[in-house]
Amino acid sequence: MGRYERVLLKLSGEILAGSGGFGLDLEAVTNICSEIAEVAREGIQVAMVVGGGNIMRGQQAVQKGMERSQADNMGMLATVINALALQDSLERMGISTRVQTAIEMRQVAEPFIRRRAIRHLEKGRIVIFAAGTGSPYFSTDTAAALRASEIGASCLMKATKVDGIYDDDPHKNPNAKRLPFVSYHDALTMGLKVMDAAAFALCQENQIPIVVFDVLKKGNLRALLVDGSPVGSLVSSEPMDD
């Protein structure tokens, strides 16, 4: 897949919960950050968007009667908690990190300013974008596609617990086949659950390839970004040369 100079890494909140499934597992946070720190030391410019599902799942709250905007606001605040945990872990590893939030809270983090974020990346700092888009009704997947577009990322890395995109649920169907490449069009028409339609469409419009990979397998991030190994599945207009 080749080496990317500047990437946007999308992490789900659930990955930070570890085996517990809820809350923050600091060991899981440390393990993820050690992988990220390794590629940052190789000169890759890394920005991140993190979800908040390990603390607050807005969809479930809405199903139980909570007003959608209120639930989404709570979910966005949950992403800030996760972003601060990631920042703390990375900085203890000696990696300079900035958190920028779409909801202003200057005592905690910088407000999102595109040009400042790009400047941080150019200086070798990791930038973690928190609070989604700052507006309800938008997922953190859409926030990731938006921020990737704004900073001119060469790739959006969708970190998951599975090793790519499958034609069926691999947890339910042992015969499900992994798809090394999926076009933007097919990703939308197939209704893939890897990211929502708005995120796929935004990446297609701005020609930002999406790599879906297993972030829990040690060394995968380095293999993708430093070694250029064909890990996971690629969503793009056309396959890339290895």
Quick check: 184 and 237 in contact, CB under 8 A?
Answer: yes
Instruction: Confirm whether residue 30 is marked as ligand binding.
Output: no
Instruction: Confirm whether residue 186 is marked as ligand binding.
Output: no
Instruction: Confirm whether residue 140 is marked as ligand binding.
Output: yes
**Please, what is the Cα angle at 133 between 132 and 138, to 5 degrees?**
85
Instruction: Confirm whether residue 96 is marked as ligand binding.
Output: no
CB atoms near residue 136 (< 10 Å): 17
Quick check: 92 and 26 in contact, CB under 8 A?
Answer: no
Instruction: Confirm whether residue 163 is marked as ligand binding.
Output: no
3-state DSSP call for residue 144?
A: helix
Instruction: Confirm whether residue 138 is marked as ligand binding.
Output: yes
Instruction: Confirm whether residue 69 is marked as ligand binding.
Output: no
Instruction: Confirm whether residue 164 is marked as ligand binding.
Output: no
Instruction: Confirm whether residue 137 is marked as ligand binding.
Output: yes
Instruction: Confirm whether residue 13 is marked as ligand binding.
Output: yes
3-state DSSP call for residue 119?
A: helix
What Cα–Cα distance (Å) separates residue 37 from each residue in 135, 162, 196?
Answer: 30, 22, 28
What HEC string does 10-40 produce?
EECHHHHCHHHCCCCCHHHHHHHHHHHHHHH
Report d(CA 41, CA 43) in Å as an integer.
Answer: 5
Instruction: Confirm whether residue 237 is marked as ligand binding.
Output: no
Instruction: Confirm whether residue 25 is marked as ligand binding.
Output: no
Report d(CA 139, CA 73) in Å as an integer.
Answer: 11
Instruction: Confirm whether residue 136 is marked as ligand binding.
Output: yes
Pull the structure tokens for residue 43.
């000169």
Instruction: Confirm whether residue 12 is marked as ligand binding.
Output: yes
Q: Summarize the annotated binding site as residue ranges.
A: 10-13, 52-53, 57, 72, 133-140, 160, 166, 169
- Binding-site residues for UMP sit at 52, 72, 133-140
Q: Residue ranges for the binding site for ATP?
A: 10-13, 53, 57, 160, 166, 169
